[in-house]
Amino acid sequence: MNKKLLIAAVSLIAIALVVAISDQFINGRDARLGEPIVKMANLIGMDSVRFSQKDKELLLVKDKDSTWRLGSDSGFPADASKISRLVDELTRNEVEMLVSLAKEPAAEFGLTEPNEVTLRKATADVMRIKLGGQRDRGGQYISFANDPKVYLISQSLDGRPEESAWELKRLLNIPANQIKKISFNPARALNKRGVILSREKAEDPIKIEKSAQNANEASNIRSHESILSSLDFKEKTEAGNEEAKKALTKASRILVTLFDGREFDIQVGSTSATPKKYFMLIKAKKGENTASSDTQEVEWINTIMGQYAFEVSTSMAERFEKGLSDMTDKKGS
């Protein structure tokens, strides 16, 4: 064999061995590899989560009743299911690869101004990670606390320090079998007649109190029994929001009465600008037979309605903008 070719071949083999040994040294010696980002056992007793990015920060805390809240133990409720999902992702997501040992990670990893997620127990940090950018071939770059090492995980995480990403969007979720009576009073602009639906017992189908002449009840009339089920808002703003105030000056009004005596007086109105925005205002009142837990919900609704204005989706608003024509079919139809 040509001597020069032999030397070149030996050199290539040597380089390959160095690369392989280096890769094995970097990725074979790191204790984080193959391990979850955080172990579930370490999260027992966790009572707060902090999200931050540059000068923005959001704190989620668990109150004395184990309810997650925004900012403080008296803040707006956080969505516990999203926090559970985050914990699940952190405990199941394994660290796959060590990609950088540099003291200053390259901008390509997206860690120059990262989102940070900190899980705390009392005053101690259980875990703090920095979330970087996405890898083109899948995965996300992260680093731990003040450690400059950059790792790759397979499943991306959400660490936005924004209230809208973590707040509980559900205002009410009252089962259909608790609804006794619904009075619809549509806004004048809708050009619809008002209508009242009611029933005597929970097992009865809800019906129009006074049937209109030459009309039959619509086949889907029972769907209105779920009027307060999964009642979610889209965005919340300050209580004095001008758009909300104008929208609610000419609102549809709906009074819902439950079998335990609770009443929910609901107003839904829209802005005149296109695309329309819909806002909702709820005033709740407890009944003689209302349970203590439901009384707390009544008090909570009245409190937050005084603190914020709530924008709802078009489909949610349309649930309440009903009139007699929506409850009936013409004879023969």
CATH number, domain of 282, equals 2.60.40
Strand order in the sheet with 140-144: 68-70, 56-62, 48-53, 115-121, 124-134, 140-144, 150-153, 95-100
Domain count, the chain: 2
Asked if 324 and 208 sit in the same domain, the reply is yes
Asked if 266 and 324 sit in the same domain, the reply is yes
Residue 35, in any domain of the structure = yes
How many whole angstroms separate alpha carbon 201 and alpha carbon 180? Answer: 7
What's the helix, strand, coil split of the chain in %, to 5? Answer: 30, 35, 40
Residue 117, in any domain of the structure = yes
* Rama region for 222: left / alpha / beta (φ>0; ψ in -120 to 50; rest): alpha
Asked if 29 and 151 sit in the same domain, the reply is yes
Asked if 190 and 145 sit in the same domain, the reply is no
- How do beta strands 170-172 and 115-121 pair? unpaired
Asked if 234 and 252 sit in the same domain, the reply is yes
Asked if 138 and 205 sit in the same domain, the reply is no
- Given 144, 161, 178, the domain boundary residue is 161
Asked if 206 and 287 sit in the same domain, the reply is yes
Asked if 254 and 138 sit in the same domain, the reply is no
How many whole angstroms separate alpha carbon 62 and alpha carbon 257? Answer: 33
Q: 136, exposed or middle or buried, with CB in 10 Å at 0-12, 13-18, 19+?
A: exposed
Residue 11, in any domain of the structure = no
What does pTM read for this prediction? 0.83
Residue 304, in any domain of the structure = yes
Between CA 69 and CA 77, with CA 71 as vertex, the angle to 5 degrees is: 20
Contact 151, 140 (CB under 8 A): no
- Given 161, 186, 205, the domain boundary residue is 161
- Asked whether the predicted pLDDT for residue 332 surpasses 70, the reply is no
pLDDT in the model for residue 213: 55
- Asked whether the predicted pLDDT for residue 1 surpasses 90, the reply is no
Q: Position 146: which residue type?
A: N
- For the record, the structure tokens of 63 come out as 């109150």
Q: 143, exposed or middle or buried, with CB in 10 Å at 0-12, 13-18, 19+?
A: buried
- Asked whether the predicted pLDDT for residue 307 surpasses 80, the reply is yes
179-235 tens-digit pLDDT? 999 999 999 999 999 999 999 999 999 999 976 555 788 999 999 999 999 999 999
How many whole angstroms separate alpha carbon 25 and alpha carbon 102? Answer: 15
- How do beta strands 150-153 and 170-172 pair? unpaired
Asked if 178 and 210 sit in the same domain, the reply is yes
pLDDT tier, 3 (very low <50, low <70, confident <90, very high otherwise):
low
138-186 tens-digit pLDDT? 899 999 988 999 999 999 998 999 999 999 999 999 999 999 999 999 9
- Dihedral angle of Cα 324, 329, 330, 333, to the nearest 10 degrees: 170
263 lies in which domain range?
170-330
- Given 161, 187, 209, the domain boundary residue is 161
Residue 1, in any domain of the structure = no
Residue 87, in any domain of the structure = yes
